[in-house]
């Protein structure tokens, strides 16, 4: 096997008697951006690229029947993970398409009732940019602020509802800080006012228990590549009763997926998506227990560094995500300093080309300097104890090294006030 640029290095574990273990470099700690396909997912997909290649919409022969059967079984697997009925699962190309279909589809279908949408300043760009598009064509959008912990104020949400409000769009868990919003309370407010509730749950499904009925969700997006499935496939949950949600299709041609999303179905991807959901349903609890332990160890050790802090709520958050600021250290410099050995990010993969500080962290009240000094660390199913030990050591050394060449850090250590430092 050709390992390319992977380097093998010895790493000593602290536990006595374990000896030397080998890890592969670079270490991947950017699981919020994407996850590797689980080998069991790849194995399930493979036959549908070759001998089982039929179009699921071909109803006149066995090749098509076989494809359709595989798609419907995967639909059942996705539905089981989120507590839905299979007919409520609409396959898409991913969460971005699902976000567009949900928001634009509701906006057009319920135009006779109103044109007002409520969302949050820390939403994923797929939601924010879609709302921005609707504003240009006559929609009205309210962007709720968040607290320093990244949580919305439920009283502010309820106060924002108008007679023309048709949709509340609030993500389940944030992609940069991992904060989980009070979904059940949000849905109760939406129901009380006869407003539909949509949530982008790409970061949550497969990581924490999501129950569309218990949570009171009317529409919800999922992305396969966030839960150890393939890229380019996802799903939109659309409630069929109490209330029955209707959408205007955004892609026309053929009437696939109950007329909501036309186009030839990605059978291999959907099969892999289904298998990934099944594995998450069965293994999530054990994975979460292990990842919480690793995340807590990582934070405990890194927060030993002076002027470091975790961003967002430490109570209501995903088990695998940590966003940490190291004051007087530029995060991009820190990432560059370790990127040969550790894959990290300073925010969403969708905005990684921007030099601006994270809009999510700014919404939490962080100033530009602190926002620029923040790392997003995402752990996952294949993260090991040895990798966390190695990452802690590398990051600590990099922070100390970068602060050592930072004039502002030198002034801080000499006792110069923050205001004078900024001047």
The CATH number of the domain holding residue 418 is 3.90.1150.10
* Cβ proximity of 168 and 386 under 8 Å: no
Of the three residues 252, 278, 304, the one that is the final residue of a domain is 278
Tally the C-alpha atoms within 13 A of residue 90's C-alpha that lie toward its C-beta.
29
Q: Per-residue pLDDT averaged across 287-297, rounded?
A: 98
* Cβ proximity of 90 and 234 under 8 Å: no
Which CATH number characterizes residue 44's domain? 3.40.640.10
Active centre residues (catalytic): 350
Q: Is the pLDDT of residue 160 over 50?
A: yes
The parent domain of residue 111 ranges over: 40-278
The pLDDT score that the predictor gives to residue 2 is 37
Residues 33 and 44 occupy one common structural domain:
no
- Residue 2 placed within a domain: no
Residues 205 and 349 occupy one common structural domain:
no
Residue 95: phi and psi, rounded to 5, are -70, -35
Give dist(CA 22, CA 165) in Å, integer: 56
The pLDDT score that the predictor gives to residue 415 is 85
The pLDDT score that the predictor gives to residue 254 is 84
pLDDT band with cut points at 50, 70 and 90 for residue 418: low
**Which of 255-284 are b and which e, b meaning 16 or more Cβ less than 10 Å from the residue's Cβ?**
ebbeebbeeebbbbbbbbbbbbbbbbbeeb
Rounded alpha-carbon distances, angstroms, from residue 194 to 94, 161, 197, 214: 28, 10, 10, 18
Tally the C-alpha atoms within 13 A of residue 419's C-alpha that lie toward its C-beta.
0
Q: Per-residue pLDDT averaged across 77-94, rounded?
A: 98
Q: Which candidate, 36, 34, 33, 53, places its Cα nearest to that of 271?
A: 53
Q: Per-residue pLDDT averaged across 48-71, rounded?
A: 93
Q: How many residues does the chain have?
A: 423
The pLDDT score that the predictor gives to residue 422 is 55
Q: Are strands 116-120 and 219-223 parallel, antiparallel or unpaired?
A: unpaired
**DSSP structure string for 85-123:** -GGGEEEES-HHHHHHHHHHHHHHHTTTT--EEEEETTS
Residues 262 and 391 occupy one common structural domain:
no
Of the three residues 219, 245, 278, the one that is the final residue of a domain is 278
Give dist(CA 50, CA 268) in Å, integer: 10
- Structural tokens at position 22: 């080998």
Q: Per-residue pLDDT averaged across 148-177, rounded?
A: 98
Of the three residues 259, 278, 297, the one that is the final residue of a domain is 278
CB proximity list for 14: less than 8 A, separation 6 or greater? 389
- Residue 1 placed within a domain: no
- Residue 331 placed within a domain: yes
Q: How many CB atoms lie within 10 A of CB 206?
A: 28
pLDDT band with cut points at 50, 70 and 90 for residue 3: very low
Q: Which value, to the nearest 10 degrees, does the dihedral of the CA atoms of residues 26, 29, 35, 41 take?
A: 70
pLDDT tens digits, residue range 324-372? 999 999 999 999 989 899 999 986 544 444 567 899 999 999 999 899 9
- Residue 230 placed within a domain: yes
Residue at token pair 């292990």: 290
Q: Per-residue pLDDT averaged across 16-39, rounded?
A: 80
Give the CA angle between residues 177, 178, 183 to the nearest 5°: 125
pLDDT band with cut points at 50, 70 and 90 for residue 421: low
Count the helices and strands in the chain (H runs, E runs).
Answer: 13, 14
pLDDT over 70, % of the chain: 91
Residue 2 or 420, more confident: 420
Q: Is the pLDDT of residue 304 over 80?
A: yes
Q: Residue 378 pairs with which residues in a beta bridge?
A: 30, 321
Whole-prediction pTM value?
Answer: 0.91
Q: Per-residue pLDDT averaged across 41-70, rounded?
A: 94
The pLDDT score that the predictor gives to residue 118 is 98
Residues 293 and 261 occupy one common structural domain:
no
The pLDDT score that the predictor gives to residue 346 is 84
To the nearest whole number, what is the mean pLDDT of the chain? 91
Q: How many CB atoms lie within 10 A of CB 423?
A: 7
* Cβ proximity of 322 and 178 under 8 Å: yes
pLDDT band with cut points at 50, 70 and 90 for residue 21: low
- Residue 329 placed within a domain: yes
- Residue 53 placed within a domain: yes
Residues 18 and 67 occupy one common structural domain:
no
Residues 177 and 55 occupy one common structural domain:
yes
Q: How many CB atoms lie within 10 A of CB 29?
A: 25
Residues 233 and 96 occupy one common structural domain:
yes
The pLDDT score that the predictor gives to residue 377 is 97
Residues 110 and 227 occupy one common structural domain:
yes
- Structural tokens at position 272: 């892999």
H or E element in which residue 400 lies: helix 385-404
pLDDT tens digits, residue range 360-413? 999 999 999 899 999 999 999 999 999 999 999 999 999 999 999 999 999 998
Q: Per-residue pLDDT averaged across 282-305, rounded?
A: 97
- Residue 326 placed within a domain: yes
For the chain, the 3-state helix, strand and coil shares in percent, each to the nearest 5, are: 40, 15, 40
pLDDT band with cut points at 50, 70 and 90 for residue 60: very high
Q: Per-residue pLDDT averaged across 189-216, rounded?
A: 98
Residues 260 and 351 occupy one common structural domain:
no
Residues 261 and 311 occupy one common structural domain:
no
Q: Is the pLDDT of residue 301 over 60?
A: yes
The lowest-confidence range among 4-18, 86-100, 217-231, 284-298 is: 4-18
Give dist(CA 210, CA 135) in Å, integer: 31
Residues 264 and 303 occupy one common structural domain:
no
The pLDDT score that the predictor gives to residue 222 is 98
- Residue 295 placed within a domain: yes
Give Cα 235 distance to the centre of its chain: 14
The pLDDT score that the predictor gives to residue 416 is 77
Q: Is the pLDDT of residue 258 over 90?
A: no
Residues 28 and 96 occupy one common structural domain:
no
The pLDDT score that the predictor gives to residue 419 is 52
Q: Is the pLDDT of residue 10 over 70?
A: no
Q: Is the pLDDT of residue 11 over 80?
A: no
Q: At what angle do helices 385-404 and 331-338 cross, to 10 degrees?
A: 120
Give dist(CA 358, CA 391) in Å, integer: 23
pLDDT over 90, % of the chain: 84
* Total structural domains within the chain: 2
Q: Is the pLDDT of residue 7 over 90?
A: no
């Amino acid at each position: 096997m050709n390992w390319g640029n992977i380097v093998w290095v010895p790493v000593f574990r602290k536990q006595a008697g374990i000896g030397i273990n080998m890890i592969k470099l670079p270490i991947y700690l950017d699981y919020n951006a994407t996850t590797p396909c689980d080998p069991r997912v790849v194995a399930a997909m493979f036959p549908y690229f070759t001998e089982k290649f039929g179009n699921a919409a071909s109803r006149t022969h066995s090749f098509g029947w076989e494809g359709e059967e595989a798609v419907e079984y995967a639909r059942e697997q996705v539905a089981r993970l989120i507590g839905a009925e299979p007919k409520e699962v609409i396959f898409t190309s991913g969460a971005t398409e699902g976000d567009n279909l949900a928001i634009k589809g509701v906006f057009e279908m319920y135009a006779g009732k109103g044109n007002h949408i409520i969302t949050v300043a820390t939403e994923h760009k797929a939601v924010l940019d879609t709302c921005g598009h609707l504003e240009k064509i006559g929609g009205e959008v309210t962007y709720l602020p968040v607290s320093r912990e990244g949580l919305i104020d439920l009283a502010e949400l309820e106060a924002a509802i108008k007679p023309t409000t048709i949709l509340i769009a609030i993500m389940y868990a944030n992609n940069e800080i991992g904060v989980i919003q009070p979904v059940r309370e949000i849905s109760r407010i939406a129901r009380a006012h006869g407003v539909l509730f949509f949530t982008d749950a790409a970061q949550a499904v497969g990581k924490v228990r999501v129950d569309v009925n218990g949570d009171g969700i009317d529409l919800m997006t999922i992305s396969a590549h966030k839960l150890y499935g393939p890229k380019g496939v996802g799903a939109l949950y659309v409630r069929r009763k109490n209330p029955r949600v209707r959408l205007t299709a955004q892609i026309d041609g053929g009437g696939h997926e109950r007329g909501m999303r036309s186009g030839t179905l990605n059978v291999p991807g959907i099969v892999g998506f289904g298998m990934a959901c099944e594995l998450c349903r069965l293994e999530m609890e054990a994975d979460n227990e292990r990842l919480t332990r690793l995340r807590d160890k990582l934070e405990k050790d890194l927060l030993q560094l002076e002027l470091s802090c975790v961003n967002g709520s430490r109570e209501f958050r995903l088990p695998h995500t940590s966003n940490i600021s190291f004051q007087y250290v530029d995060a991009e410099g820190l990432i560059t300093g370790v990127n040969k050995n550790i894959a990290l990010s300073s925010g969403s993969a969708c905005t990684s080309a921007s030099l601006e500080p994270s809009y999510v962290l700014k919404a939490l009240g962080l100033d530009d300097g602190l926002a620029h000094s923040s790392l997003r660390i995402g752990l996952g199913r294949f993260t090991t104890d040895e990798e966390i030990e190695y990452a802690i050591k590398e990051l600590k050394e990099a922070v100390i090294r970068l602060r050592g060449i930072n004039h502002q850090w030198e002034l801080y250590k000499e006792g110069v006030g923050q205001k004078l430092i900024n001047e």
